Amino acid sequence: MNKTELIEAVAGKANVSKKDAEACLSAFVGVVTHALSGGDKVQWTGFGTFELRERAARKGVNPATGQQIDIAASNSPAFKPGKAFKDSFNK
């Protein structure tokens, strides 16, 4: 499912216009991004948790040259599904 299909599905399920559904989804992404940028995590009970995870500096290999390179430490967004969400796939 791509972004357009997601917007259509949300609009149909919530009985709102596609424009309103797109605005809501964009607002959701913006709020989560802003919260994670500020060091917070976003917990949605029954669905899951969005958080930033620290990735340590490490050695890597350039696939084009085979040369070893240093990869700097970074932060990466992560999603951990909640129990109810996971259980919905294992009935």
Q: DSSP letter for 59, please.
A: E
Q: Looking at the DSSP assignment, which residues form a beta bridge with residue 60?
A: 69
Q: DSSP letter for 89, please.
A: T
pLDDT digits (tens, 9 = 90+) for 24-65: 999 999 999 999 999 999 999 999 999 999 999 999 999 999
Q: Give residue for tokens 């290999």.
A: 61
Contacts 24+ apart (CB under 8 A), 2-8: none
Amino acid at 31: V
pLDDT value at position 91?
Answer: 78
Q: Are the CB atoms for 3 and 29 separated by under 8 Å?
A: no
Find the domain containing 74 and state its range: 3-87
The pLDDT-based confidence of 90 (bands split at 50, 70, 90) is confident
What's the CATH number where 34 sits? Answer: 4.10.520.10
**Could you give the number of structural domains in the chain?**
1
